Amino acid sequence: MFSKILIANRGEIALRVIRACQEMGIASVAVHSTADSDAMHVRMADEAICIGPPSSTESYLSVPAIISACEISGAEAIHPGYGFLSENAAFVQIVEDHDLKFIGPSAKHIRLMGDKITAKDTMKALGVPCVPGSDGGVPDFETAQKVAAEVGFPVIIKATAGGGGRGMKLARSAEDLETAFRTARAEGKSNFGNDEVYIERYLGTPRHIEVQVFGDGQGRAVHLGERDCSLQRRHQKVFEEAPGPNIDAATRARIGKVCADAMANIGYSGAGTIEFLYENGEFFFIEMNTRLQVEHPITEAIFGVDLVREQIRVAAGLPMSFQQDDLKVNGHAIEVRLNAERLPNFAPCPGLVNTFHAPGGLGVRVDSALYGGYRIPPYYDSLIGKLIVHGRDRPEALARLRRALGELIIDGVDTTLPLFFALLEQEAVQTGEYNIHWLEKFLAEKL
């Protein structure tokens, strides 16, 4: 086992990793920008090293600074958290070239899934169901016309290097196609330096269902069920639950096995998430994230596992501590994302937090780097915390969420807290009958 791990991240996810390290008896090293000198992760880690100015590109994304911090502190492994360098294959290569261990999948697998066309081709070959569409890249508009006619409108044009909802354009009919094709290409080029695009059938009212997978890198892999993350605003998840409200045990076992087998087949190592659109009882693969996700705690809650501990174990060459048969769904969990944002426009709202009071009690978990007197810096993501509740069933989880939201106090900055009170009043949320468009519609009409 490692004796010291460096966490190349900040905020709640840095705390999450530090906590796992503490429980495993591993020393932790925090890195931080000058804007984060007072941050909670700096206070909680055993050591802290300043790696640069506020701008992420010069600090949390600075590979030389992070590698130097490892060498100075004597850390043997790096946990990347999510975002920043977590899905950067070149970084993984550099880490390995310095005889350090990256806590995550291999550079090869990150690269494979980072390009959406290769990811889809790979998944298709592994028997994972995909959205019908072009066979790989679409080189020119003439080909786009041919493919779209075959697939049938509406279609979505996607940049192979796209992410975060960028580089994706909808064409409702043949008239929209040329503009959609050219804008998707241009966005791919300007945002990600790659203008390759592909075409998919556009699904009208799907749910976003993602399967948590875990591999040991030796050809063994398991799944930990699904999460429903359909409640999204601008492709950003807002409210997540596990298990999916309309996924039964047989469906879970079937799609889970397809995913676990695919991961075993490629020798995947560590945590990963295979994302699907789910419509009329059918799953359609859209992308794979080769890292720990923000919403991993709801899976931890219903399976009673520690995914970060497991990541660290596998990176250290130990076997997984569970097998498929050990993994049983227990109850229902919901996570809501607390962002420092002002409603109704979700404008970022950094600043001084006067008071922070976290809810407690049975089945309540708060992952947050806030404390009273902390000043949220304006340079980073607006996620300031996650409230996770676990109940014996969905109604209990909803009741617990309402109760916990009532106890939570964040005074000084605006947050997305009021949104969740409003959501809990909605019938679609109470019944779980929503799709990926529901939240946007609700926000446009009601907020």
Residues binding ligand ADP (CB under 6 A):
131, 156, 162-165, 168, 200, 202-203, 208, 235, 275, 277, 286-287, 436
**What one-character-per-residue DSSP string does 4-23 give?**
EEEE---HHHHHHHHHHHHH
End-to-end CA separation in angstroms for the chain: 50
If the CB atoms of residues 165 and 418 are measured against ligand ADP, the closer one turns out to be 165
Contact 11, 300 (CB under 8 A): no
Q: What token pair was written down for 338?
A: 């607390």
CA–CA gap between residue 317 and residue 326 (Å, rounded): 21
Q: How far is the CB of 310 from ligand ADP (least distance, A)?
A: 25
Q: How far is the CB of 130 from ligand ADP (least distance, A)?
A: 10
Q: With the CA atoms of 264, 269, 273 and 279 taken in that order, what torsion angle do they form, in degrees rounded to the nearest 10?
A: -10
CA–CA gap between residue 118 and residue 128 (Å, rounded): 13
Q: What token pair was written down for 200?
A: 């998919």
If the CB atoms of residues 164 and 395 are measured against ligand ADP, the closer one turns out to be 164
Going from the C-alpha of 267 to that of each of 190, 246, 274, 440, the distances in angstroms are 34, 31, 15, 38
CA-nearest of 266, 225, 286, 231 to 441 is 231
Work out whether strand 383-391 and strand 364-368 pair parallel, antiparallel, or are unpaired: antiparallel
Backbone angles phi, psi at 404, to 5 degrees: -70, -40
CA-nearest of 261, 397, 311, 399 to 79 is 311
Contact 120, 113 (CB under 8 A): no
CA–CA gap between residue 447 and residue 436 (Å, rounded): 18
CA–CA gap between residue 56 and residue 345 (Å, rounded): 25
Q: How far is the CB of 131 from ligand ADP (least distance, A)?
A: 5
CA–CA gap between residue 75 and residue 101 (Å, rounded): 9
Residues with catalytic annotation? 291
CA–CA gap between residue 288 and residue 397 (Å, rounded): 28
Q: How far is the CB of 323 from ligand ADP (least distance, A)?
A: 30
Which residue bears the tokens 């560590």?
270
